Amino acid sequence: MGDLKRSATEIITAVQNPSIDFVKTADKTSVSEVGEVIVYTLTVTNTGNVTLIDIRKLDEMVNYDVNIDSLSPGESRSVDISYVVTQADIDRGLIENSATVSGKGRSGDDTSGEDTVVVDVDQNAQIGVEKTSSSTNFTEIGQEIVYNITVTNTGNVTLTDILISDPLTGFETQIATLAPGVSVSFETVYTVALEDLERGTILNNVSVTATDPNGEEVVGEDSITIGAGVKKIIANDDEFGDFDFNYTGALGNILENDLLEGQRPDPSDVDFEFTDLDGILGLEINENGELSLTIPGVNEAREYTLRYVLRETLNPTNSDDAIVTFRLLNPDVDLSVSKTSNNIEIFEGDEFEYVITVSNIGGTDATEVEVIDELPTGVSYVSFSWVSTNNQIELFPTIQGNWLRWGIPLLPADAVVTITLRVKADALSSENPLTVTNNVTVGSSENEVNPGDNADTDVNTIRPFFIPNVITPNGDGRNDAFEIKGLGKFNSNEIVILNRYGDTVFQRTNYNNDWDAPGQGAGTYFYVLTGVDSQGRNHVFKGWIQVVK
């Protein structure tokens, strides 16, 4: 029998399972700055049981699109891909990155995978504003202060609807967007006002608002204070001097002596206000600081003290004060007065005369002239008379006891008034002589240029009662008559003169000191004198007289 062969075929069908796993990771969980680099790792693993072909990895955000020819079961492949963070990413607040992978088995079955990674963004929305000025101070009304405003996005997100506001200058503007790190600048101007100078400082605030990508408001603000500067102003006191009270014309200029920043101020740079005119009339003050008198003779002759405040025109708070002094004088005159009793011998009871001479020697009419004579003790007023060299002169006396005053309303230049003052020597209280000193003064309403001759003094002596005992009636003017010194101290008297035989040769009531032995020869004579004093008492004197011929 031959070999017997048998064969059989069994087909086992394999179960194909094409499967792919895709994992995407990032090396950072968060970012905060544009330009940061995120490294993504894409890992593809064949988790099936068949070889995969035509594997495509796609990451559109990073522009990654790569094909792998084949990938055996269980095989993995990884790739690192870098991504640079953009401003849009920061503004969005997160970075979400998805990637996909796809492939197929050899039988044509498709498989795919997908993974997503989210990286957080640390958003910081901030805005800064700074205000500066080149002006360090301000000094006057109308001065312009230039402010510079700089707005900067100091955060890391783009800001929108930025509004900048400066209330002081009225500046306001809006910006649509402002990227991080970007600055924009503006200029605005403020004009200094009076109240700024009064306050002494200018405070200027600026504010800025913006909206971040999440719709939240972001705020920034700044301020700058500028202080008032002061130009040094000095109002110095002025002494303008002496002027005739009838003077009209310029007195002086206050600005000549004042200073602004060390210099004579320009009239346009300062104002001045007189706060006290001291009663002066007819004063004109012009804008250049010059003072003038315009009306003669309306102000009294005296010293005037005026007060004023000097202010800077563009800064009225900057001021100083001073005084102005000047004098209005009566016109200069030169009066003189003299007084004399001519050195006559005076006995108690005698009437005698003082001669007072008043002269205007200054060449200027004198008004309201006053001559005063106060008689000393021991002398009594009797009467006066006067003459002058000018018929315009009037004289008005005032007699009050021993105080004598003569008023002369007008004493023309070069005129002379002579007053003869008759007085009586009073009875002495003892047998001792009395020295009498008599003073006279003269003055006027004008200014006296030489007061040294406005007073004079006469000194004389009143001697006691005396009866001589020798006469020599020879006509030589010396002892020619029987003159009893001081006989006038009696209110009345009576005298009888007898020769040596007892015959009466002379008898007289109220004897006048005039007996010179007429018709009588030389020899010895006798007298009896009876005097009656002011109280009615009799005083009897007896003696002898030797007549020498």
For 197-220, the DSSP string reads HHHSEEEEEEEEEEE-TTS-EEEE
The values of phi and psi at residue 90, to 5°, are: -60, -45
Question: What are 232-265's pLDDT values in tens digits?
Answer: 999 999 999 999 888 999 999 999 999 999 999 9
Length of the chain in terms of residues written = 549
Residue 374 near residue 451, CB atoms below 8 Å: no
Name the CATH architecture for the domain at 20-121.
Answer: Sandwich (2.60)
128-228 belongs to which CATH class?
mainly beta
> What is 470-547's CATH topology?
Immunoglobulin-like (2.60.40)
Q: What is the pLDDT of residue 431?
A: 84
Provide the Cα torsion 33, 36, 42, 43; round to 10°. -100
What φ, ψ does residue 89 adopt, rounded to 5°?
-65, -45
In the β-sheet with 183-191, what is the strand arrangement from edge to edge?
Answer: 128-133, 144-152, 183-191
Closest CA to 365 of 335, 338, 395: 335
pTM above 0.75, yes or no: no
Helix H or strand E segment including 130: strand 128-133
Task: Match domain 240-329 to its CATH number in 2.170.270.10, 2.60.40.10, 3.40.640.10, 3.40.50.2300.
Answer: 2.60.40.10
Q: How far apart are the first and last CA of the chain?
A: 251
CA distance 329 to 242: 7
Structural element, H or E, at residue 91 = helix 87-92
Between the alpha carbon of residue 203 and those of residues 130, 142, 169, 206, the distances in Å are: 14, 17, 11, 10
The CATH homologous superfamily of the domain defined by 332-463: ntegrin, alpha v. Chain A, domain 3 (2.60.40.1510)
How many helices and strands, by DSSP H and E, does the chain display? 2, 42
State how far the alpha carbon of 155 is from the alpha carbons of 123, 125, 127, 179, 268, in Å.
Answer: 8, 5, 6, 9, 53
Cα gap 163→493, rounded to integer Å: 128
State how far the Cα of 486 lies from the Cα of 495, in Å rounded to an integer.
Answer: 15
d(CA 320, CA 323): 11
Q: Which two tokens stand for residue 295?
A: 């009306």
For the chain, residues with pLDDT lower than 70 are 1-9, 13-14
d(CA 406, CA 356): 11
pLDDT of residue 535: 83
CA pair distance 143, 365, nearest whole angstrom: 61
Residues of the chain with CATH 2.60.40.10: 20-121, 128-228, 240-329
How far CA 511 is from CA of 309, 481, 485, 488, 506, in Å, comes to: 82, 12, 12, 10, 10
Q: For residues 156 and 179, what is the distance between their CA atoms, to the nearest angstrom?
A: 8
Q: Which residues pair with 506 in a beta bridge?
A: 497
Amino acid at residue number 261: E
- What pLDDT does 1 receive? 47
Short-list 244, 212, 235, 285, CA closest to 449: 244
Cβ atoms of 429 and 314 within 8 Å: the answer is no
Which amino acid, one-letter code, is at 165?
S
